[in-house]
Amino acid sequence: MSSIAPAETPGAVARDRVTVGDAVRGWWQGVRGGDLGSLPIFIGLIIIAIVFQSQNSNFLTSGNFVNLIVQASAYMTIGMGLVFVLLLGEIDLSVGFVSGVAGVMTALLLLDDGNAIGAIPAIIIAVAAGAAIGTLHGLLITKIGIPSFVVTLAGLLAWQGVVLLLIGDRGTVTLSNPTVIGFANDFLPTATAWIVLLACVGIYAATQISGRMSRAKANLPTEPIVLILLRVGALLLVGAIVVAVANDDRGIPYVFLVLAVLYLFWTFVLNRMKFGRYVYAVGGNTEAARRAGVNVDRIKIAVFAICSAMAALGGIILASRLRSVDTGAGGGQILLYSIAAPVIGGTSLFGGRGHIKSAVLGALVIASIDNGLGLLGLSSGTKFVITGLVLLLAVSVDSLSRRRQANTGRA
Amino acid sequence: MTDSHPVLELRGVSKSFGAVQALYQVDFRVAAGEVMALVGDNGAGKSTLIKCIAGIHPADQGEIVFEGKPVSVHGPKDASRLGIEIVYQDLALADNLDVVQNMFLGREELDGLRRLDEVDMEKRASKTLSDLSVTTIRSVRQTVAGLSGGQRQSVAVAKAVMWNSKLVILDEPTAALGVAQTRQVLDLVKRLGQQGLGVVLVTHNMHDVFEVADRITVLRLGQNVAEFATKDVTPAKVVEAITAGALSKVPGLSEEVLA
């Protein structure tokens, strides 16, 4: 238990506590008071693993593990963008088809018809188009005052139309560009994966220790060094297991690297930058933020732009995995899985509470269920019913723990 | 103390909203180190007056003199630049942010790499709270949601005084508080005065007024009908001024009717 606790709330644990014992006690009191953090998710993932492994011994194989990462990657990417929108207490229903538009655009720009451009420019154009779409949504929501539900519901319809118009009578566009396909289908060399892991753990340890040192210098309460070492150790252990298992099969897919960079970047933006602070403030109390001089409209527009740009990136990752796009691009369960991911991960639909990691963990849960039920050969109907129940369960756990937090004055 | 140089002085301030004369020729002054109570019945113009000072509703007529110099305040930003801070009744705190984050909202400090300088902000927030002898807050990294009403009021006041402010206006600070928490906040108000700030306490509560105020200004129907030194007056007299203070002009009525 004690090794899970510090790992899931880096930087936030026990700022004013002195000993490891105090920290653990404080964490346990928090859990009893309803401040569960990511604990339900970890328990959920363990239960999922046990249930599926007992039904089909292929679930916990290294090959399936790599598949799982790739399957979850698009939901993780789109979900990370949605975290921002949910933090404001808004919603974006258009992310599915915005991802479709970007996927189709990338495929068309790379179409081998003599006018193909490079992979990188194509990706940049598609993501920029996503950002422009989000800016449009944001302007409609802030300047005209249409609720985000309605604007993005209209977007859901309109951008689906754009997907169909772009595809035209081609039906299916095959991706042949090796760089774009490589995202989801190529793998890091074994040694490189280890080096990347060590670099990540090293950077994490360095920031943790330097943060603690500057707090100590300023005479602020610091957490015990043992706790930092435990967290770094836990990260190293989990990372090493992931890399070792993946290397046992095809290796770490490049898309995993993209996700890691996105995760670190957006976590930094939310926790260490003014912009992130303002996103939380607007979601927590819009009026307070406005009176404090925050340009609320600008924050909202930027958030919708980020969300659609991330959706676009998710669409490109999806296209890369499937090696083609068709008239169904962006449809199906993409929207609902992408919204469910951060919600299952613990981001509140009412704004103000949530983290980037919720999208990653939630998408992992959804992809595991999807993948596991697929291995069991169950029908789509059964899959959807079970995924729906899991979503309901996650939100119930969240609501109950929130009520408990309110009762114990932690809220 | 009460005769010292005024930090804020309003001279003949009038404000009307369409046909409604909300303020008529109001004179008002607060000295540094003084707690001035601003009392009056509902609709007497207390809120309009503080909004004129804050620049939310600029006055139609009259002069605002701050530290001896005439100033024009066109918005909350002008006011805070001068050193005027207002703590509104609803406090304007974000529940999901912690104490430090709330106190620095909109004025975050950044380090050399444009990251939020949490260490420095936490240090300054803790110092401000301890300067005000606010000891009831266990940790400045606690979210505001978990604080009591009195603690929230303390955070809002600390947020207001952190920026070298010279005048702090408190709008009904004890309205929603229990006995012990009212005590905390009134002690805090006294300390603000002792630290040399000008304090305007807008309230309905006579007990609070006689507990902490040095002087009392009474508004009635948009006019300043009386100004007392607290030690020379009884609550009954103040209540009388609130309900029946002599008006120089009743909006909508001619002078003869008044006489």
Tell me the DSSP string of A179-244.
HHHHHHH-B--HHHHHHHHHHHHHHHHHHHHHHHHHHHHTT-----HHHHHHHHHHHHHHHHHHHH
Cα–Cα distance for residue pair B152/B146, rounded to 1 Å? 9
Question: According to the model, what pLDDT value does residue A33 have?
Answer: 67
Nearest-Cα distance to chain B for A308, in Å, is: 25
Whether A71 is in a domain gets the answer yes
Structure tokens at A160: 């689906």
Q: Which of B175, B184, B187, B158 is nearest to B35 (CA)?
A: B187
Cα–Cα distance for residue pair B36/A48, rounded to 1 Å? 65
**Cα separations in angstroms, A34 against A216, A285, A340, A405, B80:** 30, 22, 22, 5, 39
How many structural domains compose chain B? 1
Whether B218 is in a domain gets the answer yes
Whether A160 is in a domain gets the answer yes
Whether B1 is in a domain gets the answer no
Q: Which of B251, B219, B216, B173 is nearest to B49 (CA)?
A: B219
Whether A245 is in a domain gets the answer no
A273 interfacial to chain B (CB closer than 8 Å): yes
Whether A210 is in a domain gets the answer no
Q: Which of A370, A304, A378, A315 is nearest to A341 (CA)?
A: A370
Contact state of B94 with A220 under an 8 Å Cβ cutoff: no
Helix (H, G, I), strand (E, B) or coil at A172: strand
Whether B52 is in a domain gets the answer yes
How is the beta sheet containing B35-40 ordered, strand by strand? Answer: B84-87, B167-171, B198-202, B35-40, B215-220, B223-229
Alpha helices in A11-118 (DSSP H): 20-32, 39-55, 62-87, 95-109
Domain that holds residue B78: 6-258
Percent of the residues in chain B that have a pLDDT greater than 70, as a whole number: 94
Question: According to the model, what pLDDT value does residue A18 have?
Answer: 59
Domain that holds residue A153: 56-186+253-407
Whether A395 is in a domain gets the answer yes
Contact state of B92 with A220 under an 8 Å Cβ cutoff: no
Whether B252 is in a domain gets the answer yes
Largest CA distance in chain A: 68
Q: How many CB atoms lie within 10 A of CB A217?
A: 10
Structure tokens at A172: 């299916």
CA angle B210–B215–B216, rounded 5-degree value: 75
Written as one letter, the residue type at A84 is F
Whether B76 is in a domain gets the answer yes
Establish whether this prediction's ipTM goes over 0.95: no
Number of H helices, E strands in chain A: 17, 2
Question: According to the model, what pLDDT value does residue A196 have?
Answer: 92
Q: Which domain CATH number covers A315?
A: 1.10.3470
Residue in B closest to A408 by C-alpha = B146
Residue in B closest to A271 by C-alpha = B116
How many structural domains compose chain A? 1
Band (pLDDT 50/70/90 cuts) for residue B258 is: very low
Contact state of A15 with B92 under an 8 Å Cβ cutoff: no
A195 interfacial to chain B (CB closer than 8 Å): no
Which of B97, B104, B114 is the best mutation test for A, with the most CBs of A within 10 A? Answer: B97
Cα–Cα distance for residue pair A141/A138, rounded to 1 Å? 5
Cα–Cα distance for residue pair A198/A267, rounded to 1 Å? 20
Mean pLDDT, consecutive 10-residue stretches, chain A (411 aa), reads 36 49 77 73 88 88 91 96 96 96 94 83 96 97 96 96 92 90 91 93 91 87 86 93 92 92 94 95 92 91 98 96 90 90 89 92 92 86 86 82 69 48
Whether A198 is in a domain gets the answer no
Q: Which domain CATH number covers B121?
A: 3.40.50.300
Question: According to the model, what pLDDT value does residue B47 have?
Answer: 86
Whether A383 is in a domain gets the answer yes
Chain A residues in contact with B102 by the CB 8 A cut-off are 288
Q: What is the mean pLDDT of chain B?
A: 86
Q: Which of B121, B148, B123 is nearest to B137 (CA)?
A: B148
Contact state of B106 with A16 under an 8 Å Cβ cutoff: no
Contact state of A285 with B95 under an 8 Å Cβ cutoff: yes
Contact state of A220 with B119 under an 8 Å Cβ cutoff: yes
Question: According to the model, what pLDDT value does residue B101 have?
Answer: 94
Whether A101 is in a domain gets the answer yes
Print the SS3 string covering chain B: CCCCCEEEEEEEEEEEECCEEEEEEEEEEEECCCEEEEEECCCCCHHHHHHHHHCCCCCCEEEEEECCEEECCCCHHHHHHHCEEEECCCCCCCCCCEHHHHHCCCCCCECCCCCECHHHHHHHHHHHHHHCCCCCCCCCCCEHHHCCHHHHHHHHHHHHHCCCCCEEEEECCCCCCCHHHHHHHHHHHHHHHHCCCEEEEECCCHHHHHHHCCEEEEEECCEEEEEEEHHHCCHHHHHHHHHHCCCCCCCCCCHHHHC
Contact B139, A16 (CB under 8 A): yes
Chain B residues with a Cβ under 8 Å from any Cβ in chain A? 76-77, 88, 90, 92-97, 101-102, 105-108, 110, 114-116, 119-120, 122-123, 126, 139, 141, 143, 145-146
Residue in B closest to A407 by C-alpha = B146
Percent of the residues in chain B that have a pLDDT greater than 90, as a whole number: 21
Residue in A closest to B76 by C-alpha = A291
Chain B residues in contact with A16 by the CB 8 A cut-off are 139, 141
B163 or A12: which carries more pLDDT confidence?
B163
DSSP class of residue A253 equals B
Handedness of CA A243, A245, A251, A253 (dihedral sign): negative
Cα–Cα distance for residue pair B99/B152, rounded to 1 Å? 9
Of B97, B116, B146, the CB nearest to A281: B97
Written as one letter, the residue type at A132 is A
**Contact pairs from chain A to chain B, CB under 8 Å:** 80
Contact state of B108 with A409 under an 8 Å Cβ cutoff: no
Contact A197, A251 (CB under 8 A): no
- Give A21's strand partners: none
